[in-house]
């Protein structure tokens, strides 16, 4: 919930210990299936579950602070909407004008809601969303104009009372809004239960009073700028009501399924606009987008420059998984990170931490860490054997709260290696856990202990590490490295040496022009096939096509295929798209009942009205003729 710090989530994707976009690729592949479930079922329980998953997934996308994933999200929503339009056109219920109005309305509401939050904060945004919720149920005409007049008179009285409350109390705007919204909600409930009852006058009364109260809520919080923004938003929402009532194909219908969808859309607006639109970190991420693109272009050129110029390498690539090793020795743009090795000497196994390659003053830091079960406000003693062969060698040791990559609340100590003659030294250092591992309302953050060799061109050997409390309990497992790297994991501070950051350059580097051409051909073939299936009304084909669009969008600025789980999921979906599908047409051929059988003259009488989309072909034709009778 902290949107100011430069913290990037990794969730449960352990392969991101060297960075990358595994979570971005997974979300791009998975989110469309919640949309498909939401749009492809009539069960309210499934709609609710799918809606909650979609809202939570959208929240996760927002807090990744990934610009490529933001673009992929918009791409997926647009393509999914386009696919639904194609499907509606196939069934004969598509309207171009309605589609344009929906798009314009969504963009206008997004802009207006953003302006409301920018000037009036959370309270103003929540107030205008409440107005939209009440107005939603009054979007279809179900009463006479004479029945609205009593509602207007009652609304005038209620607004007058609200003005008195606003003048008398400091928090009067909130009281006025709450009472008006309660009246409007009561009217909505009675309208849903008894749609032809006159009790829906309460809904109109509550809507008018809630609209005016929402404007004063915004003014109370943000002054005149917030009042103007809220007034413009409320007027736009109210203007949608007569527009929706006058259309042959309304923008929305106030049924229960649409109401659930509106609730989820409102939740996305309420969560997404404040985070993505007013977050310090989001602003920082998008302020350097041009420099970020230039850095990626330079990284791609450096990557291609590391390839061998032989015909074999250009055709078949440098080999799958070989980029980090080749980058370490051949990169002309980046400094390589530090190194680690598990060495064995006379039957004894130990850890060798290397600094950056000599000749580079600065480079990515390599952390060799282990998660520990530390308690807060505890003094711990770390003891270990160390040796070095270079003078002034030292180690950095730290305790941090960290899930995988990004660390907070760190306790750091620097330890000098006094001897540089290659003999082992027994070193000790005290560490204070402070507030590390404190239980919060959501649980407690994991705590890690790490070693770092900060000096370029030096190697430090480590063995027999113990992290004990005052009772002698050891918090480290496999501190003597006798079991290899069990319980230990390395992370790096810069990820350029591990990822090419583009799936097309990735295929070109690893598998050459042959692999790249086959990959692009396979994607295009599968996408065309899915598009044809989706145009025939196959919902699953549309879902997979949207997943591919999001995945490729993310992969344009990130590497994805070095993560086995993400690659497996992508290839499974690709495999499904190439299977033989049994497709039922969205509008099967119907047996004609509107045309009478042919008479003796070969002519039939046609009824005046035909069902929409049916042709005027007779249901019985002469076999030996070449023209319709």
Tell me how far apart the alpha carbons of residues 445 and 402 are, in angstroms, rounded to a whole number.
Answer: 7
Q: Which residue has the tokens 């319980």?
A: 487
* pLDDT for the residue numbered 149: 66
| 141-169 residue pLDDT tens | 655 555 666 777 777 888 888 788 887 88
* 300 pLDDT more than 80: yes
* 595 pLDDT more than 50: no
CB 139 within 8 A of CB 245: yes
* 254 pLDDT more than 60: yes
Extract the tokens encoding 629.
């009778």
* pLDDT for the residue numbered 342: 95
| 279-291 residue pLDDT tens | 555 656 666 665 6
* 546 pLDDT more than 80: yes
Q: Which three-class secondary structure string do you get for 34-102?
A: HHHHHHCCCCHHHHHHHHHHHHHHHHHHHHCCCHHHHHHHHHHHHHHHHHHHHHHHHHCCCCHHHHHHH
Tell me how far apart the alpha carbons of residues 413 and 379 are, in angstroms, rounded to a whole number.
Answer: 14
* pLDDT for the residue numbered 447: 93
Candidates 64, 69, 113; CA nearest to 267 is: 113
Mean pLDDT, residues 305-325 taken together: 92
Mean pLDDT, residues 198-218 taken together: 82
Candidates 67, 28, 92; CA nearest to 291 is: 67
Least confident of 28-42, 92-106, 331-345, 407-421: 92-106
* 609 pLDDT more than 70: no
| 20-57 residue pLDDT tens | 899 999 999 999 998 888 776 777 788 888 888 988 89
Of 236-250, 396-410, 472-486, 570-584, where does the model show the most confidence? 472-486
Mean pLDDT, residues 535-543 taken together: 85
Tell me the CA distances in angstroms from 364 to 304, 427, 491, one per residue in order.
21, 26, 10
Q: Which residue has the higher pLDDT, 545 or 50?
A: 545
CB 84 within 8 A of CB 534: no
| 350-393 residue pLDDT tens | 999 988 654 444 567 889 999 999 888 889 999 999 999 888 88
Tell me how far apart the alpha carbons of residues 349 and 484 are, in angstroms, rounded to a whole number.
Answer: 8
| 70-84 residue pLDDT tens | 899 989 988 888 887
Q: pLDDT-derived band of residue 314, with 50, 70 and 90 as boundaries?
A: very high
* pLDDT for the residue numbered 617: 39
CB 463 within 8 A of CB 480: yes
* pLDDT for the residue numbered 81: 82
* 242 pLDDT more than 50: yes
Candidates 399, 340, 499, 355; CA nearest to 18 is: 499
* pLDDT for the residue numbered 166: 80
Tell me the CA distances in angstroms from 267 to 56, 75, 261, 262, 276, one per residue in order.
10, 20, 10, 9, 14
Tell me the CA distances in angstroms from 571 to 142, 182, 574, one per residue in order.
51, 52, 5
Mean pLDDT, residues 596-617 taken together: 40
* 606 pLDDT more than 80: no
Extract the tokens encoding 532.
């044809």
* pLDDT for the residue numbered 134: 86
Tell me how far apart the alpha carbons of residues 110 and 103 are, in angstroms, rounded to a whole number.
Answer: 11
* pLDDT for the residue numbered 518: 95
Q: pLDDT-derived band of residue 189, with 50, 70 and 90 as boundaries?
A: confident
* pLDDT for the residue numbered 629: 31
* pLDDT for the residue numbered 139: 76
Tell me how far apart the alpha carbons of residues 614 and 607 are, in angstroms, rounded to a whole number.
Answer: 13
Candidates 229, 238, 280; CA nearest to 123 is: 229
Burial class (CB in 10 A: 0-12, 13-18, 19+), 625: exposed
Tell me the CA distances in angstroms from 491 to 361, 442, 476, 522, one per residue in order.
20, 26, 18, 35
Longest dimension (CA), the chain: 115
Q: Which residue has the higher pLDDT, 627 or 180?
A: 180
Tell me how far apart the alpha carbons of residues 548 and 551 are, in angstroms, rounded to a whole number.
Answer: 5
* 198 pLDDT more than 60: no
Reduce the DSSP state of residue 134 to 3 states and report it: helix
In order, the DSSP letters of 346-390 are TTEEEEEEE-SPTT-S----EEEEEEE-PPSS-EEEEEEEEEESS
pTM confidence score = 0.77
C-beta atoms surrounding 270 within 10 Å? 17
| 419-460 residue pLDDT tens | 888 889 999 999 999 888 888 877 888 999 999 998 888 899
Candidates 430, 432, 429; CA nearest to 374 is: 432
Tell me how far apart the alpha carbons of residues 251 and 395 are, in angstroms, rounded to a whole number.
Answer: 65
Burial 538-559 (b: 16+ CB within 10 A, else e): bebbbbbbbbbbbbbbbbbbbb
Average pLDDT of the residues of the chain: 81
Tell me the CA distances in angstroms from 555 to 139, 143, 260, 566, 576, one per residue in order.
42, 53, 33, 12, 20
Tell me how far apart the alpha carbons of residues 163 and 149 are, in angstroms, rounded to a whole number.
Answer: 21
């Amino acid at each position: 919930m902290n949107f100011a710090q430069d913290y990037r989530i990794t969730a449960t994707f352990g392969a991101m210990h060297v960075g990358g976009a595994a979570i971005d690729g997974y979300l791009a592949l998975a989110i469309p299936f919640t949309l498909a479930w939401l749009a492809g079922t009539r069960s309210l329980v499934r709609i609710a579950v799918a809606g909650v998953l979609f809202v939570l997934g959208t929240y996760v996308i927002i807090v990744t602070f990934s610009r490529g994933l933001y673009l992929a999200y918009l791409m997926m929503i647009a393509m999914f909407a386009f696919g639904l339009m194609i499907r509606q056109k196939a069934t004969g219920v598509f309207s171009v004008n309605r589609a344009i109005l929906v798009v314009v309305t969504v963009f206008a509401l997004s802009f207006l809601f953003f302006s409301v939050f920018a000037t009036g904060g959370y309270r103003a945004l929540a107030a205008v969303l409440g107005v939209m919720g009440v107005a939603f149920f009054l979007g279809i005409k179900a009463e006479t104009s004479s029945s609205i007049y009593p509602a207007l008179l009652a609304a005038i009285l209620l607004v007058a009372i609200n003005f008195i409350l606003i003048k008398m109390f400091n928090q009067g705007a909130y009281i006025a809004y709450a009472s008006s919204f309660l009246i409007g909600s009561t009217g909505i409930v009675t309208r849903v239960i008894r749609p032809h009852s006159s009790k829906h006058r309460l809904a109109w009364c509550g809507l008018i009073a809630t609209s005016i109260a929402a404007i004063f809520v915004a003014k109370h919080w943000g002054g005149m700028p917030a009042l103007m923004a809220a007034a413009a938003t409320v007027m736009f929402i109210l203007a949608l009501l007569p527009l929706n009532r006058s259309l042959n194909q309304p923008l929305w219908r106030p049924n229960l399924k649409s109401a659930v969808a509106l609730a989820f859309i409102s939740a996305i607006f309420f969560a997404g606009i404040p985070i993505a639109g007013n977050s310090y970190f989001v602003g920082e991420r998008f302020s350097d987008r041009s420099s970020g693109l230039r850095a990626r272009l330079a990284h791609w050129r450096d990557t291609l420059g590391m390839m061998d110029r032989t015909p074999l390498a250009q055709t078949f690539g440098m080999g799958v998984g070989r980029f980090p090793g080749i980058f370490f020795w051949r990169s002309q743009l980046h400094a390589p990170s530090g190194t680690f090795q598990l060495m064995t000497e006379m039957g004894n196994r130990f850890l060798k931490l290397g600094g950056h390659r000599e000749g580079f003053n600065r480079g990515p830091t390599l952390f060799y860490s282990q998660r520990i079960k530390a308690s807060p406000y505890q003094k711990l003693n770390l003891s270990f054997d160390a040796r070095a062969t270079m003078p002034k060698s030292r180690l950095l040791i730290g305790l941090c709260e960290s899930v995988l990559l990004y660390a907070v609340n760190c306790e750091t100590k620097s330890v000098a290696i006094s001897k540089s003659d290659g003999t082992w030294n027994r070193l000790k250092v005290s560490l204070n856990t402070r507030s590390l591992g404190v239980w919060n309302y959501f649980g407690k953050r994991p705590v890690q202990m790490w070693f770092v060799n900060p000096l370029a061109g030096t190697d430090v050997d480590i063995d027999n590490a113990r992290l004990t409390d005052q009772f002698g309990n050891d918090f480290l497992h496999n501190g003597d490295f006798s079991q290899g790297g069990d319980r230990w994991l390395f992370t790096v501070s810069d990820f350029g040496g591990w990822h090419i950051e583009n799936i097309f350059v990735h295929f070109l580097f690893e598998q050459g022009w042959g692999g790249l051409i086959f990959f692009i051909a396979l994607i295009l073939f599968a996408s065309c096939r899915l598009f044809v299936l989706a145009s025939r009304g196959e919902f699953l084909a549309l879902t997979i096509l949207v997943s591919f669009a999001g995945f490729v969008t993310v992969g344009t600025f990130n590497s994805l295929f070095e993560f086995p789980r993400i690659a497996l999921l992508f290839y499974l979906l690709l495999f499904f798209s190439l299977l033989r599908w049994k497709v039922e047409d969205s509008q099967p051929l119907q047996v004609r009942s509107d045309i009478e059988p042919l008479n003796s003259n070969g002519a039939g009488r046609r009824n005046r009205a035909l069902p929409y989309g049916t042709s005027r072909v007779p249901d019985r034709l002469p076999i030996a003729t070449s023209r319709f009778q």
